[in-house]
Structure 1
């Protein structure tokens, strides 16, 4: 299953007791669950983690990439639209969640150091499309060796994504990306830099996702949205063997 989105926040100048951190985690779980139900289907999994000190939080959305509300990915146009919709919903989810959590009473007086809307697997796919677009536009200006190097980079990125998604989506993605990739306007948040490649300006797709390793967390709750039906606390996390592990990137 893919990581569809991740909301991240980091606040400073606050010190929470064990009880206060648990309360913040429970509140964050409630906020995330209620918000996720507006964007994602009931079989979606939420993973909520908090670390004490200067308080940091990770709320990760895990689910199928080709979910019913976006339709089945069958061609490039449908594929692009599906990825765009998932990224858009993920960003909206993350923005709403981080704004609500950092306004919680447990964090009164804290300084918001960072809030991020991480695009996770859909963001990886978008970066593949953008790099392929650049390569097709500049292939004639590259030597055979340089073109092969970029092709290899794209294939590595693609393999990373294919490892994240369910088998039903893999063949569809291969089929969609096997076609000529048309021009896709880069979003304002794509953050494109350039570097010289034998006289050609190659885009450096600066990652919106952080690359720090997963920390030791002091609060952890994981549950399916389908198990969330009331205003009570979300269900406790089931055994880890029942759910796929999280890899931070």
Structure 2
């Protein structure tokens, strides 16, 4: 199951009891469910995790990418798949915007406590960028030699998108892309699993001369202990989107 979108909020300082964290988590989780139903129309999994210390709140929306028409063996309708990917990305934009505005308010955090708010588009953003590049190549209809820079960019994006997919989803995606653009052969659509970056050889460490003293590293200051104080996920059935 791929992560479509993730919101990360860090509040510091933030002190709360176990019960208060539970109430906060339940409230955030309820709001995330409502926002997911409104924007995605269900068919997704909502997950909320809170880590105490400096409060770190993560809200994720997940979905099996096979739900985006990859389950039918091959993408007979590339246009339909492309439109679904773009629609899912737009839903992620709206979902993250809503939750980014809501979470600090639910936590009753003042602006100074809100140290970081990150909207992470994950698979929805990667797939959107990928289908846009494939569509660009389809429309351009340029000779293969001219298209090579774009093919390399598609190769990079495919490798990035694959990180969020299962093996079956990855195979369906690459198959569909190859059908949409025949130029995307195995030479260009290399699985991210086999794309390795050659690392320079590491020189072996030589023994130190006898009597050499190694300086001790200065002790680091104590960090506040971080622990998960709330975690909950809910599978939402597919429904019609709630009107805004």
TM-score by length of structure 1 reads: 0.59
Post-superposition offset of 1:148? 8.9
CA spacing shift, 1:33–1:151, aligned 2, 3 Å:
closer
1:111 and 2:105 are equivalent in the alignment: no
Question: What SS does structure 2 have at the residue aligned with 1:114?
Answer: strand
Checking the alignment, whether the CA contact within 8 Å between 2:129 and 2:157 is kept in structure 1 is no
Larger radius of gyration: 2
Instruction: Give the length in aligned residue pairs.
Output: 187
Deviation at 1:35, TM superposition (A): 1.4
The equivalent of 2:214 in structure 1 is: none
> Cα deviations across residues 23-62 of structure 1 (Å, max 9, x unaligned)?
2111111111121111234442111101122222111111
CA RMSD of aligned residues (A): 3.8
- Counterpart residue number, 2:5: 5
Q: Per the alignment, do residues 220 and 4 of structure 1 end up closer, same or farther by CA in structure 2, a change over 3 Å counting? A: same
Structure 1 pair 41–21 and aligned structure 2 pair: CA distance change class (3 A): same
Check if 1:220 corresponds to 2:231: yes
Structure 1 stretches of 5 or more lacking a match? 182-214, 227-249
User: Which ranges of structure 2 fall in alignment gaps of 5 or more residues?
Assistant: 183-225, 238-244
Aligned to 2:37: 37
> 3-state DSSP class of the match of 1:58?
strand
Query: Does the 8 Å CA contact 2:44/2:61 hold for their aligned counterparts?
Result: yes
Cα deviation for residue 105 of structure 1 reads 5.0
Question: Which residue is equivalent to 1:202?
Answer: none
Partner-residue secondary structure (3-state), 1:107: coil
Verify the 8 A CA contact 2:9 2:118 in the aligned structure 1. Answer: yes
Distance in 2 of aligned mates of 1:158 and 1:108: 36
Q: Is the 8 A contact 1:128 1:154 kept in 2?
A: yes
